[in-house]
């Protein structure tokens, strides 16, 4: 945290997304590299996961599965606190618990989508009115196997909203339009309203996502490479010509046309595609033609071109993205995790901060 002027203050926010492909994490999995915890540089962490549970009928229609979320929460806590203190001080079950450099502000799961927000313990008193809202898309448009979990809070006098999405999949004609429709539905249908015994939010907190001062939309957005010539795409992948492939990236095309994502910004993509990899391998699934890599013949139509499915977008003034990276060392899933770092400016609340 660095004071800029008497009425504003700067913070560093880490946003990360990972589609874990329904895979349970091993107990010894360390998230330190992805979360870059050794630098001790960030004030707030917002981590989003997709496919935390397998997206089958039992997971989608059955009872809520908290076990997977709890396991990931412990791994996050390990990365932020236990590695430094060695005593497991921070209690992941206690949403406002004491102990540790970082505390979990809130977490929320909707089927396979999970969001977890952690703040420095010293910052917690300046974070007010946390709220969550879940919107299902996917099967029948409501079941929650696709959709978004959104979290919001007031930091000093500045409102933040983080929207963790899992949009429609598929690389066929018309699938990009389904993704656009999912995103539009999430933005229009998500509402933060008073529920149960929760205290009413002040008037300065908006009800809708786009009303917040600083917004981050992240997750498995599922946008693909729109190229008709498979042979050309395959050659570009072999040569690692990412910039040429990105000329046909569906999301960048949407951003440049100012259609579905008008007003949103994305950092420069310089990293390798985040999908689709063979599990426990750095090899793209698409490149293992005719079962060369596995010894098993596989039909050509099952091979999907590599793509930058996992993305992080932002909107709002006073927000500068300074890092945007894919983390290649994690091979648990067929996706690779992605992270972004933002420098944000917050307005101080008169008479409430000190």
Of 119, 130, 122, 158, the C-alpha closest to 347 is 158
Rounded distance between C-alpha atoms, residue 21 and residue 337, angstroms: 11
- Residues 143 and 110 sit within 8 Å (Cβ to Cβ): no
Whether residue 193 has pLDDT greater than 50: yes
**Element holding 314 (H helix, E strand):** strand 310-315
DSSP reduced 3-state for 304: coil
> What's the pLDDT score for residue 1?
56
- Of 13-17, 93-97, 145-149, 155-159, which gets the smallest average pLDDT? 93-97
pTM score of the predicted model: 0.89
Domain boundaries along the sequence of the chain: 8-83+98-194+204-282+303-347
Q: Which fold has domain 8-83+98-194+204-282+303-347?
A: Deoxyribonuclease I; Chain A (3.60.10)
- Of 54-58, 178-182, 245-249, which gets the smallest average pLDDT? 54-58
- Residues 138 and 131 sit within 8 Å (Cβ to Cβ): no
Rounded distance between C-alpha atoms, residue 281 and residue 330, angstroms: 9
Band the pLDDT of 234: cuts 50, 70, 90: confident
- How remote is the C-alpha of 177 from its chain's centroid? 21
């Amino acid at each position: 945290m660095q004071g800029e002027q008497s009425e504003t203050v700067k913070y560093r926010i880490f946003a990360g997304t990972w589609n874990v492909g329904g895979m349970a994490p091993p107990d010894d999995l360390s998230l330190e590299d992805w979360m870059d915890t050794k630098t001790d540089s960030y004030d707030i962490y917002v981590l989003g996961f997709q496919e935390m549970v397998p997206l089958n009928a039992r997971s989608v229609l059955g009872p809520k599965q908290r076990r997977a979320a709890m396991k990931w929460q412990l791994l996050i806590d390990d990365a932020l606190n236990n590695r430094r203190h060695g005593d497991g001080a921070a209690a992941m079950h206690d949403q406002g618990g004491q102990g540790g450099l970082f505390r979990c502000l809130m977490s929320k799961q909707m089927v396979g989508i999970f969001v977890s927000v952690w703040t420095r313990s010293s910052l917690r008193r300046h974070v007010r009115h946390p709220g969550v809202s879940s919107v299902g898309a996917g099967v029948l448009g409501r079941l929650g196997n696709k959709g978004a979990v959104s979290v919001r809070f007031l930091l000093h006098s500045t409102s933040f909203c983080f929207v963790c999405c899992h949009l429609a999949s598929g690389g066929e004609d018309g699938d990009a339009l389904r993704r656009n429709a999912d995103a539009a539905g999430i933005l229009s249908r998500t509402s933060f309203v008073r529920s149960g015994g929760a205290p009413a939010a002040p008037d300065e907190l908006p009800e809708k996502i786009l009303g917040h001062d600083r917004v981050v939309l992240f997750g498995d957005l599922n946008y693909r490479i729109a190229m008709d010539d498979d042979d050309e795409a395959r050659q570009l992948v072999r040569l690692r010509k990412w910039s040429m492939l990105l000329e046909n990236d569906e999301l960048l095309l949407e951003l440049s046309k100012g259609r579905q994502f008008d007003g949103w910004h994305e950092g420069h993509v310089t990293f390798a595609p985040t999908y689709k990899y063979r599990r426990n391998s750095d090899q793209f699934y698409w490149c293992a033609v005719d079962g060369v890599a596995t010894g098993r013949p596989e039909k050509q139509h099952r091979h999907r071109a590599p793509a930058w499915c996992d993305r992080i977008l932002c909107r709002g003034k006073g927000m500068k993205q300074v890092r945007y990276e894919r983390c290649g060392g994690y091979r648990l899933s067929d996706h690779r995790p992605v992270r972004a770092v933002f420098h944000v400016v917050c307005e101080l609340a008169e008479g409430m901060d000190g």
